[in-house]
């Protein structure tokens, strides 16, 4: 038992179940990876929870990370148009420099090739 869940497996270990009295999660092995098959339920949204006393930079940072490093403008749009789990004012969210995003962009950038110019040496 882990965290009130009970783990059980089929004899061939192709299927595993995590269960507690009101919930059963079924995992099936595919290409040596256990996968949970979930159904999409219309009308249900993913929610992110924030503490109310966070400053605007911390709120933006948490939402930006929770939504998979989506663009800051998109986070503001989501906060303005949709319910993200807490009462937010999109105007209060301040844009900040995400180190992970900056590193990813730097790796994607193309750099102009430099000519291999050798300095003119004195011919004696």
Residue range 21-70, pLDDT digits in tens: 777 888 898 888 888 876 665 655 555 554 455 666 777 887 888 888 88
Whole-angstrom Cα distance, residue 56 to residue 72?
Answer: 12
Sheet-wide strand order for 15-20: 6-9, 15-20, 23-30, 33-36
Render pLDDT for 39-49 as a digit per residue (tens, 0 to 9).
665 655 555 55
Q: Phi then psi for 120, rounded to 5 degrees?
A: -70, 120
- Domain borders along the chain are 6-36, 56-107
């Amino acid at each position: 038992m882990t965290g009130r869940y009970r783990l059980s497996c089929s004899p061939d270990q192709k299927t595993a179940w995590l269960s507690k009295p009101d919930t059963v999660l079924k995992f099936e092995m595919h290409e040596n990876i256990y996968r949970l098959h979930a159904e999409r339920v219309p009308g249900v949204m993913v929610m992110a929870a924030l503490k109310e006393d966070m400053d605007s930079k911390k709120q933006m940072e948490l939402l930006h990370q929770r939504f998979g490093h989506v663009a800051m403008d998109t986070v503001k749009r989501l906060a303005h148009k949709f319910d993200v789990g807490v009462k937010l004012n999109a105007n209060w969210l301040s844009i900040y420099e995400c180190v992970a995003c900056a590193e990813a962009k730097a790796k994607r950038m193309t750099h102009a090739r430099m000519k291999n110019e050798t300095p003119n040496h004195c011919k004696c």
